[in-house]
Copies of this chain bind each other. A is one copy, B any other.
């Protein structure tokens, strides 16, 4: 089933202990859609400026970019450094540019999308897209510290509508105002999302479930579920790892006939798999040139890494 994703398509400047790139294709919707494209059809809603010439990157992966609006001005630009900490980017420059007045519109040919992913943007825009797609079957989303701290009321409206919220440890604890992850997850699930996927970087990810995700009693998941990450001897560029996780996770879900607990767990593994590929090269390089065979081989590796038998 087709996924519609709304979020940033942008340019990044990145420095890490492995090197430096002045300007490369980036943005949450970019990483997400590339990762998800290995599993199912993807449609992108975003805005870019006159400097954007990267259509072919999406087209080569069969991604539908009719929803990327082109306007006068420059594309969103972010520059960050991981020199001090590979686990957390230090933002050196943010130029919103054309993103400042972004008002997402869903093209008529996208309205039958059954799977909606609200990547990390202003929750007011997330809400607007959600409203324009009232029949979406499964809606997941992401957010970040800035929206949690300064736009909490708007964010809470979006959370109520989510089947799954994907954030990292720090964001979960900040959102719940609780330093214990299990209690934080319980509080977050009480605000609306039917599931919470907490990303732990090099330690993998944990999913927490509300009873509302699988309301059929024989399908209940009461325990959380932990997916591993792949121990890597070099993390070349962590940018986009979380968005690639989301793309693998949601892409796998959208490609299945039915979403069961077993399918959800496998989706967590595919999320980790795509995140592990993303960090092997700068920017979206690795996400552009994978094969489904490579992906499934790594999925098998994740199983071997974490399973007893």
Chain A interface residues toward B at CB < 8 A: 86, 179-183, 185-186, 200, 202-204, 206, 208, 223-228, 231-235, 262, 265-266, 269, 301, 303-309
Contact = CB atoms under 8 A, between A and B. Distances in A.
Contacts of A269: 308
A227 B182 CA distance: 18
Nearest to A229: B226
Nearest to A206: B231
From A182, A227, A232, name the one whose CB has the most chain B CB atoms within 10 angstroms: A182
B309 A306 contact: no
A305 B182 contact: no
B233 A183 contact: yes
Given A203-B200, A204-B226, A231 B308 contact: no
Given A204-B226, A223-B301, 12 more contacts: A86-B179, A180-B232, A180-B234, A181-B231, A182-B231, A186-B233, A206-B231, A223-B304, A224-B231, A224-B305, A225-B306, A269-B308
B266 A308 contact: yes
18 contacts: A180-B232, A180-B234, A180-B235, A181-B202, A181-B231, A183-B233, A225-B305, A225-B306, A226-B228, A226-B305, A227-B306, A228-B306, A262-B308, A265-B308, A266-B308, A303-B308, A306-B307, A307-B307
A303 B223 CA distance: 11
A128 B232 CA distance: 37
Contacts of A234: 180, 183
A163 to B, nearest CB: 21
A306 B265 CA distance: 9
Nearest to A233: B182
Contacts of A306: 225-228, 306-307
Contacts of A266: 308
Contacts of A232: 180, 182
A233 B180 contact: yes
A308 B185 CA distance: 22
A227 B231 CA distance: 13
Contact of A309 (B180, B181, B225, B262): B262
Contacts of A206: 231
Contacts of A265: 308
A31 to B, nearest CB: 23
Contacts of A202: 181
A225 B306 CA distance: 6
Contacts of A208: 231
